[in-house]
Structure 1
Amino acid sequence: MDEAAYRDFYESIGKKNGWDFSRLQVKTKGETWDFTHEVLQRCRPNDLVLDIGTGGGEAVLKIASHVRLLVGIDHSGAMIQRAQENLVSSPHRNVRFFQMDASALSFPDGFFDMVTSRHAPFDSYEIARVLKPGGVFLSQQVSEHDKYALKSCFGRGQCYGEDDGSLREKYRRDLQLAGLEVEVREYDAEEYYQSVEDLLFLLSHTPIITAFGEYADDFHQLHTYLKQNNSEQGIWTNAKRILLVATKKHE
């Protein structure tokens, strides 16, 4: 899926669902982390925080009560509209959402104590610019071999065929070139989706399998995958994630 196609897909999902996957029933086994917890561990009450690729704000609103100001941005107008709706029904008054491209942040230099990004593209130089000295950027990204057996069954998908680890090293290199000190962690855990409906919701609302449902044999391929990977625990797949923690040096 090229960038234009992805943006169209993401906009359509924003209109239908936002970036809300709370309805999914899925069990995870193996060593993992919780990204919200990783952020909260580093938050301070007076912090100004920017969230890039905020979607409908579903995840980032969980940290609003722990910081002074939370700003969420997304390039999708539909996602920001959903975020505004979610904000109205929340108790938080220290949150602002804006439609904005991550490659051209409309904020002053050194404005934020923390920048976060969950599964969203980012611009390392823009992040370094808007962070205060000593500020931290945290990002969770999807590795190439996430859902690898599932993508192999379909013969296509997000980053399918790319070398595992290339994205990790690209993120590390780009952040270092922007002048940030970088720590990287990874996990590769087992996931068990509790029903076919759960897996279908995931595939229909993410770009994991490119244009899922638009190919003639997609549901035949899905049936094949289910026969091979269904068990009492659920429908197996894997979740492989990258955690980036980058700190702006004091001048």
Structure 2
Amino acid sequence: MERTFEDLIAEAESVSVAGWDFSWLAGRATEERPSWGYQRSMGERLAKASAALDIQTGGGEVLAGAAPLPPVMVATESWPPNVAKATEVLHPLGAVVVADEDEPPLPFADAAFDLVTSRHPVTVWWSEIARVLRPGGRYFSQQVGPASVFELVEFFLGPQPEEVRRARHPEDARRDAEAAGLEVVDLRTQSLRTEFFDIGAVVYFLRKVIWMVPGFTVDQYRDRLRELDELIRREGAFVAHTTRFLIEARKPETGA
């Protein structure tokens, strides 16, 4: 029996969105993965590091999946539910989780790490990354690119201005990294097909990825959600495109 709009909405509103695990969406949404395999590549770099920092670690799931970890491994996170989740996940692996407000300065000494990583950071404080890296150390990050999933964003918010659509452009990241004294050694971008197969998946996604539709609530957008539910039932899926870029930057041996 086909589930009703209200049933799907109620379920998606009740489920926890703590952590950065999207397994609840299995069978309900799909996102094509970047060809570079961030977690695998992150693991290769961690295996060679002596002291590493993972910034904005979320619930720690990505870092945990890249184990084994180096002798010194620290992760930062700002959202209290994620801090608790990351502590639970990462402490058994030997990583220390630090509650940090994601504002400079990072709570670490100069040249403390030979590797800094971050998957999908909301903000990137390049001068702080450069400061805590040792000469020769590297920053390795997969980030959300411009206009990511904007088909969904604009369904709820309407057409966005060009400056909003261009935000988080990889060339801006290159410029900012170089301004902080780092050398960009790799920069790649991909557009990836994303599909939502029921309205519950959309609600869960917007509750979890809170910056997509700021202040999103079911009550506020119920009419649009109902329209989207009808579209998904008619067409089988709502299709959007996720933008991702990979950046790796190196601190010169002479220091930044």
The two structures have a TM-score, normalised by structure 2, of 0.79
Residues 227 and 161 of structure 1: CA distance in aligned 2, closer, same or farther (over 3 Å): farther
Verify the 8 A CA contact 1:226 1:235 in the aligned structure 2.
no
Given residue 144 of structure 1, which amino acid in structure 2 is its aligned partner?
A: P
Contact kept in structure 1, 2:199 and 2:225, CA below 8 Å: no
Query: Which of these residues, 78, 85, 90, is aligned with residue 87 of structure 1?
Result: 90
Q: Is the 8 A contact 1:151 1:160 kept in 2?
A: no
> Does the CA contact (< 8 Å) of 1:48 and 1:113 recur in 2?
yes
1:5 paired residue number: none
* Structure 1 residues 231 and 172: alpha-carbon distance in aligned structure 2, compared to 1, 3 A threshold: farther
Quick one: percent identity of the two aligned structures? 28
Matched position secondary structure for 2:85: helix
Change over 3 Å in CA distance of 1:113–1:30 after alignment to 2: closer
Offset, 1:31: 5.5
Which deviates further from its counterpart, 17-26 or 48-57? 17-26
CA distance in 2: counterparts of 1:160 and 1:195, whole angstroms: 30
Out of 56, 60, 74, which is 1:53 matched to? 56
Measure how far apart 1:39 and its partner are: 1.1
Q: Does 1:116 align with 2:125?
A: no
Gaps of 5+ in 2: 1-15
- 1:17 aligned partner: 18
Structure 1 residue 82: deviation in Å?
2.2
- Which stretch of the first structure deviates more once superposed, 163-172 or 146-155? 163-172
Alignment RMSD:
2.8
* Displacement of 1:148: 1.3
Comparing 149-158 and 70-79, the one that deviates more: 149-158
Decide whether the 8 Å contact of 1:158 with 1:210 is kept in 2.
no
Larger radius of gyration: 2
> Kindly tell me: are residues 245 and 116 of structure 1, through their superposed partners in 2, closer, same or farther at Cα, counting changes over 3 Å?
same
Instruction: Provide the residue aligned with 1:7 in structure 2.
Output: none
4+ residue stretches of structure 1 with deviation over 6 A? 157-160
Q: Which moved more, 1:24-33 or 1:36-45?
A: 24-33
Q: Give the C-alpha shift of residue 245 in structure 1.
A: 1.0
Task: Give the alignment's TM-score, normalised by structure 1.
Answer: 0.80
Structure 2 Cα separation of the partners of residues 67 and 196 of structure 1 = 41
Gaps of 5+ in 1: 1-14
Name the CA distance, whole Å, in 2 between partners of 1:142 and 1:213.
Answer: 23
Count of equivalent residues? 233
Shift of 1:114: 0.8
